[in-house]
Structure 1
């Protein structure tokens, strides 16, 4: 599995179309991540923010607002707020997961320490709420505040369920809806709200972001077992080593014989991993068709995202957002 460069253009086109607004958002991010009293805050934040991420979530805010005909500037505040929430969750996640690489670079907790990562993440959450307040919209604040709570809830659910091999696909989707899709759907919904879109359009863009986020996370989970370090920005097999019970493994366990089930219980449930276990896990995943089945699910969620756009306004960006759903799953072609 890996990136299909022939279909990577939708994201590039979306970024090019929104380059002016994104430039303003980036300037706002740099301004708001500053601190007069604690220089470590911009140091840690810049390490992650300037690491070359695609800025997908703020782009979704900008695209949704423009799709709905918005001509103001409050969507810039929302886009920056969404990026700060995302960055804060990454800082916290890397501490929880004891990760050493993010976007192809050493993690902040490795370069500094866990305390710095957690506290800077807290600072960014606070900054995000200041940005939300600056929009003057209680509805927008409610959407992003609810998303922040859902993200935290999803992370805690993952903490308690991810190493339990009885975890079902339904629980997995619940976790993914929290840890990933909540911010996607909040981005697209809040962009429509700031533009004054009606409830039908707002719901359509919420459903698009939700389905896109789920497809995105399934693809990320698949790439951990078959991508490249350059593509995913972390080490291959990290999810296995961190005992994360992702969709491919859940599907393999559901089809496992007694010997395979004992293997998963030892490696994921108990955390007793030996040299060669990752290779065996890959062999089982392929033999049980778990990777192909998870890929089929990701494509289905991407199709659901595209279908949701039927209720969105007719605009050239609607096609770009539809193509973006195809791009997300193209990473596993």
Structure 2
């Protein structure tokens, strides 16, 4: 496969990335790549710093694998670099390539996608909680790991970003959808009704964006085990008995616990107040994911010189 060589400017950036990684005791350098660079050359300039390549492009992933470099496949390219970096970090943790608490140097392009022109140092600390492949496999019953990961990633995005600068809480229920539908009733007209199954799969970027837009409506989203959106805006009617939840959790979390208690479904609740994502199985919280650090959202700021 043809590779794109590293320009002198990119060489300087990679050498700087290595220095930043060493000075900050970073676990790895994560490169968001849109084209198949000469990754062996990239690794040479990073020297002993571990290299990860994140991309939604198949040719980039193939090139990295051919060069023996760990790959973080992205579902598809988000609208902004900050979304892409967030997704890459979540996927790397889920694949056990990174751990919470790691320092990561991210290298990416802002102005020219055929180059690399920017870098950031990201401290994951406790902001990504325990989201590992082992955690999600522990939850896997009738729900495939792939479906869980799509929905967990989507829930984390909603909890972190909200919608149009407003915090949003929502609830997903996945698995044993026929019984879940029987134990719920319609609160609003179902926006997914009438669409073919292939048009309702959560792996589709269009479906995920639709879920984000609809997250503010009352009720839960119901998904089949293979990741198809079955319905939205459903009020869950499962009895809230024999449950024990932490103080401060509201009706959404009680509904999530209740439906997971009487079915084999997994419920994923996003807290409107904090953005925290909780996964429920058999009536209890089995995984808690804190929202990513807000500092990861890049904004323009004005600075003033220090006072004399």
TM-score when scaled to structure 2? 0.30
Higher strand share: 2
Provide TM-score, normalisation by structure 1: 0.28
Which structure would you say has the larger Rg?
A: 2
More helix, by proportion: 1
